[in-house]
Amino acid sequence: MTSVGWIEIRAVRYTCVKDKGQSVYPLQDYIELINEATLKNGSTKVQGVKCTRNAAASIALVCSESSYEQATLILNRLTGFGVTKTTAFRITNIVGAEFVKETPMEIDSSKIVKITDKVRGNILECNVNQICHLENKHEINDIIRKALKDGVDGILHSDYSGPTIKVMYILCDGTGVPGRRKELAGVKGKQTDGSAKTFEAKIGVIFIVEYTVDGKPLLTKNGEIYRNKKAIYMGTVRKVEAFGPLLFQHACENGLDNVDSVVFLGDGATWIRGIQNEYFPYALTGVDLYHSIEHVNSMVDSIQFKGRSGSNRKKAFKEQCIELLRCGKIQDILDLVESILCKKSKVEKLQSVTNYFRTNMDRMNYGAFTVNGIFVGSGVIEAACKVIVGNRMKHAGMHWSKDNAEKMIALRCAIRNGVFLSSYLRTSVIRPSDPRDGMSPISPPSSYSMSPASACVA
């Protein structure tokens, strides 16, 4: 395509008889020109931003990866848009707002019951229960240790062409976003004076893994569990009361009705447990192994190991606890801890950590999960928090309003999910054969200039 320089578009304003004399710009609608943003009170304010959806998508895409200052530098150098930092910010917010989802007013409880009836007693659940309820403890130990040492007993996916069952993994976590001081006034935080410098963004991830009909995982050549579909993200800065329904809606939109089993992984936080209990009560649940290992480390640091060999005994004790943890023997860990003296200054800390294990004991069947090829780590959600929030929103000097953060998170999720361009550049305007039908001109053409890049129509 040959560039022809700058072009001029003349937008004629018409009054539409069908809409009680409302002013419209048919040409502007025809090319889907963006020129206004909706404010919180529902009114609109003309921002002086005029570009096509295609140009807006390009601007938002670059601004989602770099600071607005850096993004405008790149855009203007490569495209000749000539946008300012303020304009790029406004356009990105307009685009991001299209991907922010409304909180479902009500979740159909009958749907949860229907899914529960469908997945209850699935093969993965039966296999896990079979390991957990073996009476011979030595047999359990041998099965788990063999899986930990030699890897999961599965089938190489490239060699398997038989029927499969689909298992949906649902993970969620929270991460801090540096906020504006006026929005954090009075909010409790982790600063020495009790104030907060961040507000929480909640991120959810789902992905689907296939197993054989008898519950054996499909493996890669390296012996890892094979995952042929990418993770799908969602996120919000709204409160947990909104996040739960949004996560359930996200799962439904991405195939919850069509899976045979559900696995829910979290870090053991109370709010995460609450979401799982309310919206995914049928799921096999697990606490992320690596969060549990962090709690083991914290627990061991609270215990006294006196004498010259104290450091060696401490190391050996920690390794013993982690080995028991990987086997899912949480009660054995607690019994060991009770037999050893605690540092006086660390009594409360130790009590808190041991309570964490007691509370989440039923969600720490790591041995049975490992034997059956079920993920025990939430590395996917940790990476999601970094990819969606950390890489763009946690740079030095950044301070976000909750409204702008919500839009940026929604935008970055849409981009990572691979739906951004196809969704944003969809043709949504019904274009009549004659845009003046039922209208009469009430003003002369208003002119403004656009660069070839920004005038490009998708």
Q: Hey, what are 383's tokens?
A: 């990476």
pLDDT the model gives residue 408 = 98
* Containing structural domain, residue 431: 7-97+427-450
pLDDT the model gives residue 5 = 54
Residue 234 within a domain:
no
pLDDT the model gives residue 27 = 67
pLDDT the model gives residue 456 = 39
Residue 83 within a domain:
yes
Kindly report, residue by residue over 8-26, the tens digit of the pLDDT: 666 677 776 665 667 776 7
pLDDT the model gives residue 435 = 46
pLDDT the model gives residue 304 = 80
Residue 358 within a domain:
no
pLDDT the model gives residue 426 = 63
pLDDT the model gives residue 134 = 84
pLDDT the model gives residue 431 = 44
Residue 43 within a domain:
yes
pLDDT the model gives residue 405 = 97
Residue 51 within a domain:
yes
The residues of the chain scoring below 50 in pLDDT are 1, 3, 36-47, 427-436, 438-458
Residue 226 within a domain:
no
Residue 431 within a domain:
yes
| pTM score, whole prediction | 0.85
CB 88 within 8 A of CB 68: yes
Split into its structural domains, the chain has a count of: 1
pLDDT the model gives residue 32 = 66
pLDDT the model gives residue 443 = 46
Q: Which own/partner pairs from 24-33 qualify as long-range (CB within 8 Å, at least 24 positions apart)?
A: 24/439, 26/435, 26/436, 26/439, 27/435, 29/429, 29/435, 30/429, 30/431, 30/435, 31/457, 32/427, 32/428, 32/429, 32/457
Residue 17 within a domain:
yes
